[in-house]
Structures are given as C-alpha cells and as structure tokens.
C-alpha cells in the first residue's frame, strides 16, 4: 500500500494553497530542485559533452520511459520519451495509418483535445492521400467503429468532463473490424491504472507534466505494442531514431525497437526534473491511487452539490466512468474560478463554462478537499465571482 501522507511531504506546495490543478501542471517534487541543480552544475557544468555518456543522458529517454511504462502497463523497452505530446500524436498516427494502407478514415470524437485533432488534420494534408478525419460525439464512438475505419484515435479521459472510455472494449472492437488504435493518455497516466499491454492497444501517447509532475515543458512519451515495434515506420525519421546515429549514414534505417520513435536531442534538464518525480511514482501502487482518487472526488462532489445548487455536475456521476477530475458547469465559470484562485483554491477553467478540479492523492488529502469545498461554497453562495476584476481573461486559462 502507498502511504499518501509520505508522498505529500515530498512535494513543495505553497502554504495555504489547495492545488486541485495537478491534472494541468503537477507541482514541484522537493527533490527536483537539487536534482536539476546538480544536472546543471555537476553534469552540464563539469562534464560538458561527456555527460551524454558519463551521466547517461543519451539513455534517459528509454530508462525513464520504462519507469512510466510500469504506470501504464507496458513492459520494459516499449516506451520512450521525447518531444511534446502533439508531436507524439502525429508520430503515432502516422505509423498507425501506415499499418492499414487500404483504408482512409481516421475516427475520433468531438470531445478530443483540439491539438490532437489539429495534428491529425495537418498529417492528412501532408500525406495528400485522401484520408478523412471523422469526428463524432463521444457517445457515438462505439457504433462508428466499422470496417471503413483505419485508425481509432481517442483520448481516454475527456479533458473537459473527465468522462472515461473503456479502453479495453473499444480496442477490442477496433481490432474486430481490422482497425488500429492510438490512445492519448494525457489525463490517464498517473491518474488511474492503465494496462496498454493487457488491452492490446497498438499505440499510446501521453505527457509527463500533468499528473506525472515532470514540470512545465517535460517531454511526452510514446508506447508501441510489441507486435508493431519492429515493423512500424517512423514518419519523423530523425537521427536519434536511426539504427546507428553516430555512423552518420546518408540513408535512414529505423533503430531497434522503441528507439526508432526517438527524433532528436533529448531535453536533459527537463528529464532531470522528471526523474525526481518518477522517484516518487516508483513507490506508488496504482490501485491504491485509484481508490484514494475516487474517495476524494466523491467527497468533493457531495460537498459542492450540497452547498451549491447553482453548479451542475459536468462529469459522469458514476466513478467508474470518470477519470481523476471533477467538472462543474456554471455560466460565470471563468469569474468563479478566478474568485476561488484568489482564495487559495486553484483549479482551472475550460471554455465555454467548465470549472475543472483535479484530484491527485499524491499531494491532496481529505482535509484539503474539505477546505476546497468551503471556498467554492463561499464563492458561490456569496456571489463573490460577481466582481469586475474577475472578468478579464488572462492568456492562459
Ligand atoms: C494536455 C494535452 C495535450 C497537450 O499537448 P502538448 O503538445 O504537450 O502541448 C495534447 N493532447 C491532450 C489530450 C492533452 O490533454
């Protein structure tokens, strides 16, 4: 079992802040400060170029990938870090399309994060082979998986509502009709137990700065299933995905296994921060995390609904169909969230009217949730949101 009082003490959280936004940007692991300082001073400063070998920088993308693999049900050698999630979506989708050359339809849902949709559109245009991106409502996805579909590209947990797909059932359905799957785990990795190998997912991608607490700008990850790893064609054929990068050949030959999904030089300082975060994750049992996350979310829903009839639950009521976030709809949601933030409760706002709160047992406990409920109740019951200073939207919401 995981002791969440111990993990909480491993994060540096500002005094008096209730941070229900670890689903957008995880907080700072205390150890990351020293780890990054040492990567700067001792590795970059002292080793300079020899750090690639001596400090193991070049091996970090796969070494840290294996540690993330444990959290998503991948065996070692199937996950690698690099680039941003948008780039990894492109890379996974390009490889998936190649596996089903005779079909032309990519299926996704209208709840998907826009960047995933934009990247798919950009890829389709570049390919110029007449692919169609078919976008249907989330509740229509299962029925839309037909023998016309080449790739089913979905984000498991909806970033706005927290609605969660049954990855196992939809992957099985996709395979029945001969389609391949690309799963985006942005709101799943570190939020709930995932079993990419158990559900036979073909490709999965995710970011490490949300629930995984790798810090702003931390690299993304990609998983490729064992049955595709030696045959899939990397569309982003950078030198570090080459079989022998330091042979400097003029012809591209994909590297062995997951190495082929590397592109270019890895972000060494970001990986130092992520490594400190993974030292915490290494101690976490994902089933215990899920149990704790559901308890906190249920406590929050019950408390907010009892105090604030004007807020409408936007997340599924059934915990089994929800990720690790709870969202409420309110037409003055932006101003209401600003009023909460001023009072120490940090969540975020997603257009048009969603107030979103993330539940992260690693550093949020039942006392924090009680205090958060009190702040929401105060803001809503006393109309504290109705103040002109909360109306001006910042660039990042
Ligand atoms: C957060 C998120 C992204 C962000 O992509 P970046 O390239 O890391 O900025 C993409 N897709 C989904 C589903 C997300 O939740």
**41 lies in some domain:** no
Residues 210 and 294 in one domain: no
Residues 242 and 374 in one domain: no
**45 lies in some domain:** no
> Residue 187's closest CA among 112, 108, 133, 135?
112
The answer for residues whose C-beta is within 8 angstroms of residue 266's C-beta and 6 or more apart is: 57, 58, 60, 61, 81, 82, 219, 240
**165 lies in some domain:** yes
**176 lies in some domain:** yes
Give the rounded distance of the alpha carbon of 115 from its chain centre: 13
Ligand 1 centroid–CA 93 distance in Å is 15
Residues 14 and 104 in one domain: no
**126 lies in some domain:** yes
Which residue ranges have their beta carbon within 6 Å of ligand 1?
84-86, 113, 115-116, 155, 159, 184, 186-187, 207, 220
Ligand 1 centroid–CA 397 distance in Å is 15
Closest ligand 1 atom to Cα of 220: 8
Tens of pLDDT, residues 135-174: 999 999 999 999 999 999 999 999 999 999 999 999 999 9
Answer with the one of 255, 281, 307 that is the final residue of a domain: 281
Instruction: List phi, psi (to 5°) of 317.
Output: -75, -30
Burial class (CB in 10 A: 0-12, 13-18, 19+), 13: middle
Closest ligand 1 atom to Cα of 24: 1
Low-confidence ranges of the chain (pLDDT < 70): none
**395 lies in some domain:** no
Residues 122 and 225 in one domain: yes
Answer with the one of 261, 281, 301 that is the final residue of a domain: 281
Ligand 1 centroid–CA 154 distance in Å is 12
Ligand 1 centroid–CA 249 distance in Å is 34
Residues 112 and 178 in one domain: yes
What is the token pair recorded at 7? 């993990």
Q: Are strands 180-184 and 79-81 parallel, antiparallel or unpaired?
A: unpaired
- Whether 54 is a known active-site residue: answer no
- Whether 300 is a known active-site residue: answer no
CATH number of 307's domain: 3.90.1150.10
Distance CA 30, CA 53 (A): 27
Residue 298 sits in which domain range? Answer: 4-30+285-390
Answer with the one of 248, 281, 314 that is the final residue of a domain: 281
Tens of pLDDT, residues 34-83: 999 999 999 999 999 999 999 999 999 999 999 999 999 999 999 999 99
Domain count across the chain: 2
pLDDT at position 1 is 74
Residues 351 and 271 in one domain: no
Catalytic residue, candidates 262, 343, 356, 359: 356
> Going by CA atoms, what residue is nearest to atom 1 of ligand 1?
186
> Residue 141's closest CA among 112, 115, 161, 114?
112
> Going by CA atoms, what residue is nearest to atom 15 of ligand 1?
186
> Going by CA atoms, what residue is nearest to atom 8 of ligand 1?
85
Q: Are 224 and 261 in contact (CB under 8 A)?
A: yes
The answer for residues whose C-beta is within 8 angstroms of residue 55's C-beta and 6 or more apart is: 39, 43, 47
Residues 154 and 199 in one domain: yes
Distance CA 188, CA 154 (A): 12
Distance CA 222, CA 207 (A): 9
Q: Is the CA virtual torsion 110, 361, 19, 83 positive or negative?
A: negative
Distance CA 10, CA 140 (A): 42
Q: Are strands 221-224 and 203-206 parallel, antiparallel or unpaired?
A: antiparallel
Q: What is the pTM of this model?
A: 0.98
Q: Are 131 and 104 in contact (CB under 8 A)?
A: yes
**142 bridge partner residues:** none
| Mutual angle of helices 286-307 and 366-381, in 10-degree steps | 30
Question: How far apart, in Å, are the Cα atoms of 90 and each of 109, 132, 208, 220, 241?
Answer: 16, 15, 17, 12, 16
Residues 256 and 290 in one domain: no
pLDDT at position 202 is 98
- Whether 159 is a known active-site residue: answer no
Residues 215 and 325 in one domain: no
Residues 241 and 315 in one domain: no
**46 lies in some domain:** no
Give the rounded distance of the alpha carbon of 123 from its chain centre: 21
Residues 188 and 316 in one domain: no
Q: How far apart are the first and last CA of the chain?
A: 36
- Evaluate the omega torsion of the peptide bond into residue 77 and state whether it is cis, within 30 degrees of 0: no
257: left (phi over 0), alpha (psi -120 to 50) or beta: left
Residues 274 and 336 in one domain: no
**50 lies in some domain:** no
CATH number of 166's domain: 3.40.640.10
Burial class (CB in 10 A: 0-12, 13-18, 19+), 37: exposed
Catalytic residue, candidates 19, 113, 203, 349: 113
Ligand 1 centroid–CA 201 distance in Å is 19
């Amino acid at each position: 079992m995981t002791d969440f009082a111990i993990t909480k003490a491993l994060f540096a959280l500002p005094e008096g802040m209730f941070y229900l936004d670890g689903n957008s940007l995880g907080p700072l692991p205390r150890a990351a400060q020293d780890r990054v300082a040492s990567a700067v001073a001792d590795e970059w400063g002292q080793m300079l170029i020899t750090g690639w070998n001596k400090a193991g920088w070049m091996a970090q993308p796969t070494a840290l990938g294996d540690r993330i693999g444990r959290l998503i049900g991948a065996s070692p050698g199937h996950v690698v870090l690099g680039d941003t999630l948008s780039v990894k979506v492109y890379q996974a989708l390009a490889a998936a399309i190649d596996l089903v050359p005779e079909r032309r339809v990519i299926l996704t849902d209208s709840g998907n994060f826009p960047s995933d949709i934009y990247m798919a559109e950009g890829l389709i245009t570049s390919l110029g082979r007449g692919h169609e991106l078919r976008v249907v409502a989330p509740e229509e996805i299962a029925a839309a998986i037909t023998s016309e579909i080449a790739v089913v590209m979905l984000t498991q947990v909806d970033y706005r509502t927290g609605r969660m797909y049954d990855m196992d059932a939809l992957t099985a359905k996709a395979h029945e009709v001969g389609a391949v799957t690309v799963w985006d785990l942005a709101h799943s990795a570190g939020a709930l137990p995932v079993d990419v190998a158990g559900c036979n997912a073909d490709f999965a991608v995710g970011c490490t700065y949300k629930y995984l607490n790798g810090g702003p700008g931390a690299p993304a990850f990609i998983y490729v299933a064992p049955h595709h790893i030696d045959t899939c064609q990397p569309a982003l054929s950078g030198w570090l995905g080459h079989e022998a990068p330091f042979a400097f050949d003029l012809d591209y030959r994909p590297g062995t296994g997951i190495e082929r999904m590397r592109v270019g030089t890895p972000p060494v300082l970001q990986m130092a921060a992520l490594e400190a975060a993974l030292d915490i994750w290494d101690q976490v049992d994902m089933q215990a995390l899920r149990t704790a996350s559901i308890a906190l979310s249920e406590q929050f829903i019950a408390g907010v609904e009892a105090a604030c009839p004007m807020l409408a639950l936007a997340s599924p009521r059934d915990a089994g169909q929800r990720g690790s976030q709870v969202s409420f709809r309110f037409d003055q949601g932006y101003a209401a969230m600003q009023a909460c933030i001023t009072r120490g409760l940090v969540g975020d706002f997603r257009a048009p009217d969603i107030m979103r709160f993330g539940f992260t047992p690693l550093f949020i406990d039942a006392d924090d949730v009680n205090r958060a409920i009190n702040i929401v109740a105060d803001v809503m019951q006393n109309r504290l949101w109705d103040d002109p200073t909360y109306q001006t939207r910042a660039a990042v919401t």
